[in-house]
Structures are given as C-alpha cells and as structure tokens.
Amino acid sequence: MPSQDIFKALSDPTRRRILKLLQDGSKPAGTLAEAFDMTKGSLSHHFNVLKAADLVRSERRGQQILYSLNTSVFAEVAALMFDLFKVDKKKGRKA
C-alpha cells in the first residue's frame, strides 16, 4: 500500500473525523453518516478512500456494513511520520 494513499487519506478533515469516531469502536455506515451534514453517497466515497489506504476495514453485518479502525496499520503510519520528521542524518552538516 503506497504511503501516498495514507497521506492523501489523512488530508481531508471529514476522513480524519471518521477515524476519530471509530476510536471507541466499530460503527455502521449509517451511524457514522449521522454525524455529518453530507449525503450518504459522499460519506461512502470517504469510506472507500480510507479503505484504499488500509486505515479502516469493513464487514457486512446483516443489512448494514460495520466500519472499524485497522489498528495493525498504525505502526506503519507512525513509522512514516517518524521518518518524515526525524532530523540530523549525520551527513555534511550544512547549516
């Protein structure tokens, strides 16, 4: 999974809010949608982006679809951020 997908997924405030809503447990699409002033179609698009980045998982439970955080990818996200913000790679020491 390209890291670009992860950064892109995190760049939208609606998607970050979805992630936060999932922090205290998985929720069906409709329940998540209630928290937003937006059509369910639009929300479904955001779910797709989050799934493409492997940040969430989905599972059908009867008529509804349960979304949950994919916690196993968080270590990778942490590594990406760490790599981006660590300093002093002991090279030429320009400035």
User: Residue 76 touches which of a copy of itself, DNA, none (CB < 5 to 8 A by kind)?
Assistant: none
The number of CA neighbours under 13 Å toward the Cβ of 62 is 1
For residue 87, give Cα distances in angstroms to 3, 76, 81, 83, 93. Answer: 20, 19, 12, 9, 11
Looking at residues 5 to 24 of the shown chain, list those that interact with a copy of itself (rule: CB under 8 A): 7-8, 10-11, 13, 16, 19-20, 23-24
Interacting residues toward a copy of itself by CB under 8 A:
4, 7-8, 10-11, 13, 16, 19-20, 23-27, 66, 68-69, 71, 74, 77-78, 81, 83-95
